[in-house]
């Protein structure tokens, strides 16, 4: 069982935010999202976070494609959700 979006963010029902709109359309735990929609949302969140990675050097930016290719080639599909969860938890720690 997962928690509602408000557990992870400061979204409040009816606050008019994008996150509120997501929960209005897909449920408080985003349970109405298909797998494809979940992955598109993850991609969007990752892209938004990349805009805020100020310490990233230009060489690291060039390596992004290589990291994606290596992950696709060497990580089994059934291991990817666990990898994503691990990274998401790491992002939440100082």
For 36-77, how does the pLDDT look when each residue is reduced to its tens digit (9 = 90+)?
Answer: 999 999 988 887 877 777 666 666 666 777 787 888 888 888
How far apart CA 81 and CA 42 sit, in angstroms, is 11
Residue with the bigger pLDDT between 89 and 22: it is 22
Residue 14 has pLDDT above 80, yes or no: yes
Residue 15 has pLDDT above 80, yes or no: yes
User: For all residues of the chain together, what is the average pLDDT?
Assistant: 83
The predicted structure's pLDDT at residue 27: 92
How far apart CA 74 and CA 72 sit, in angstroms, is 6
């Amino acid at each position: 069982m997962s928690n509602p979006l408000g557990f992870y963010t400061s979204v409040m029902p009816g606050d008019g935010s994008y996150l509120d709109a997501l929960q209005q359309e897909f449920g408080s735990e985003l349970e109405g999202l298909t797998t494809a929609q979940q992955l598109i949302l993850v991609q969007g969140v990752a892209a938004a976070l990349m805009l805020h990675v100020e310490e990233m050097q230009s060489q690291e930016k060039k390596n992004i494609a290589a990291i994606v290719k290596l992950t696709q080639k060497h990580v089994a599909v059934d291991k990817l959700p666990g990898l994503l969860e691990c990274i998401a938890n790491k992002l939440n720690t100082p």
